[in-house]
Amino acid sequence: MSLLIKGITIADASSEFNGKTCDVRVEKGAIVEIGKNLELQKHEAVFEQSGAILSPGFFDLNCVFGDPGFETKEDIKTGTAAAAAGGFTGIAIMPNTKPVVHSKGEVEYILNRAKGNLVDVHPIGAISQNLEGKELAEMFDMKQAGAVAFAEAGKAIADDGFMSRALQYALGFDGLLFTHPENKALVGKAQVNESATTILLGMKGIPALAEEMQVSRDIFLAQYHNAPIHISNISTAGSVSLIKKAKKDGVKVSCDVAAHQLVFTEELLNDFDSNYKVKPPLRSKADNKALIAGLKDGTIDAISSQHRPYEIEFKNVEFEIANYGIIALQTVLPLLLQAGLDTALIVEKLAIAPRKLLKLEVPEIKVGAVANFTVFNPTKEWTFNSDTNKSKSANSPLFNKTLKGKVELVYNNGQHIEY
């Protein structure tokens, strides 16, 4: 069935229709016509919503599902449903499953499980066997099987020599390593940001230094080996400064920030709500501002969800023993709008740049292109609750709250879903 989208504003910097309000016709998975006042054809579905925007489909660089092994948290079906509802037509999923994604067998399993889905699923392989940081995983074999990058899934590699060897090995086959910015020796058992605010709460703090020392280490290694490196989930103003200088010096470094780090701050911990317990921890308003500035000046390449689903028994407990992480795929867009980002920047950091980092094909809004797009309304309000949540888990501080910025439709792989 063909689909006609009426009166839509196009947001795609590479498109001749960028910023224009047009009608878009899609047939058999391709954009076949873009123009004004297109006539509705027989047996054609139509979509029309005032104020809606059509952009290339969003892509998430950093989310966790539970399949295989932890399907009670999230499986491929529910995870991709949450992704689609958040506007994501492509996702890269972390390897911390059971078994760990550390060989081509696990990569092939995930790709087979995700076949036929509207959402493209790209596995990220482990850097080390079992995520232990001791022996290199079969990264070359995993890339050949379809892994798009390699990471330790929110764990930092403490061994400098091991990290150095991993970079050298990946350089040989154009592999990209994602690193987590945390010096575990400085973090210790602390769980929140180190500041006057958290000291008053009586909790041990994680200093910005713990992140920035690790960022510096990874930059030095990347520079030494002339190898690319991607630093995931930065959260401090200092990290932005370090990466900005490294880029200026010609180091092949890229980075992303989780959407919640642009809006949430450590003050939200006053009630000890474990749904605000994330890693890296929530920082200060000054850090929020520096991260937003880093997005605007190009220092920060992409925005990710950092989607981390958990069953209720892992989050509805005392703050100190709760697990880190929130479900986030469906709330990225509202948070970016709350942070004050404009449409062009959201599309660049959420749809274009993530695919470029992974050297994947970037969708375009033009006649003849494969249809891969997201339609969203930046002013429409909706409630995130048990009725609208598509994830198996519900660990979000935004649950049962009214949010502004709604995904209306996604289209990819010849399929579309309206919300």
Beta pairing, strands 149-151 & 120-126? parallel
Phi then psi for 386, rounded to 5 degrees? -65, -25
* 98 band by pLDDT with thresholds 50, 70 and 90: very high
Closest by Cα among 357, 368, 285, 320 to 60: 357
Question: Based on the domain organization, do 45 and 87 belong to the same domain?
Answer: no
Question: Based on the domain organization, do 395 and 271 belong to the same domain?
Answer: no
- CATH number at 18 reads 2.30.40.10
Alpha-carbon span 106 to 125, nearest angstrom = 9
Q: What is the pLDDT, as a whole number, of residue 198?
A: 87
On the question of pLDDT at 21 being above 80, the answer is yes
Question: Based on the domain organization, do 295 and 192 belong to the same domain?
Answer: yes
Q: pLDDT by residue (tens digit) across 160-204? A: 999 999 999 999 999 999 999 999 999 999 999 999 888 888 888
Q: What is the pLDDT, as a whole number, of residue 203?
A: 87
Alpha-carbon span 88 to 94, nearest angstrom = 16
- CATH number at 94 reads 3.20.20.140
**What is the mean predicted confidence (pLDDT) over 92-112?**
97
Q: What is the pTM for the complete model shown?
A: 0.97
Alpha-carbon span 88 to 80, nearest angstrom = 8
Question: Based on the domain organization, do 225 and 151 belong to the same domain?
Answer: yes
Question: Based on the domain organization, do 49 and 78 belong to the same domain?
Answer: no
- Cβ contacts of residue 377 below 8 Å, gap of 6+? 49, 51, 52, 53, 405, 406, 408
Burial of 188 (0-12, 13-18, 19+ CB in 10 A): exposed
On the question of pLDDT at 1 being above 80, the answer is no
* 353 band by pLDDT with thresholds 50, 70 and 90: very high
419: tokens are 């919300």
Q: What is the pLDDT, as a whole number, of residue 152?
A: 96
Question: Based on the domain organization, do 47 and 172 belong to the same domain?
Answer: no
| Structural contact between residues 226 and 272, judged by C-beta atoms closer than 8 angstroms | no
Question: Based on the domain organization, do 90 and 188 belong to the same domain?
Answer: yes
Q: State the residue range of the domain holding 414.
A: 3-54+366-418
Question: Based on the domain organization, do 7 and 106 belong to the same domain?
Answer: no
Alpha-carbon span 360 to 56, nearest angstrom = 13
Of the listed ranges 187-201, 284-298, 361-375, the one predicted with least confidence: 187-201
Last residue of a domain, one of 357, 390, 410: 357
Alpha-carbon span 180 to 203, nearest angstrom = 23
On the question of pLDDT at 387 being above 90, the answer is yes
Question: Based on the domain organization, do 18 and 98 belong to the same domain?
Answer: no
Q: What is the pLDDT, as a whole number, of residue 201?
A: 86
Q: What is the pLDDT, as a whole number, of residue 36?
A: 95
